[in-house]
Amino acid sequence: GAGVSQSPSNKVTEKGKDVELRCDPISGHTALYWYRQSLGQGLEFLIYFQGNSAPDKSGLPSDRFSAERTGGSVSTLTIQRTQQEDSAVYLCASSMDSSQPWNTIYFGEGSWLTVV
């Protein structure tokens, strides 16, 4: 596609429910990144994919968070048993190749998650 597409753009869920956030990267981009941004805060790295593999999952806050990427394209971030502290904007980004220093990262508009 023309840009990084994320869905849903807004999600309100009840505490304890599971949510899935989807990211469709720019066509041809092999690297995909997930970040979390809490209100008024900077970006917190969660996980990145190079192709379908995730070399670094160290940023996932707990075992309630998981992510997958299939076919080297769309990625899904799943949060199980949501808690109020999970409320944040979840930003997805992609780039041509994570290992090349000249590759700019392009961000989607984010998925705004509110846990009530």
Partner 1 sequence: KQEVTQIPAALSVPEGENLVLNCSFTDSAIYNLQWFRQDPGKGLTSLLLIQSSQREQTSGRLNASLDKSSGRSTLYIAASQPGDSATYLCAVGTYTGGFKTIFGAGTRLFVKA
Summary count for the chain: helices (H), strands (E): 0, 11
Shortest distance, CB of residue 38 to partner 1, whole angstroms?
11
Shortest distance, CB of residue 105 to partner 1, whole angstroms?
6
Buried/exposed code over 30-66 (b: 16+ C-beta within 10 A; e: otherwise): bbbbbbbeeeeeeeeebbbbbeeebeeeeebeeeebe
Residues from 48 through 107 that contact partner 1 (CB under 8 A) = 48, 50, 55-56, 58, 91, 93, 98-99, 101-102, 104-107
Q: Residues in the site for partner 1, rule: CB under 8 A?
A: 4, 31, 33, 35, 41-43, 45, 48, 50, 55-56, 58, 91, 93, 98-99, 101-102, 104-110
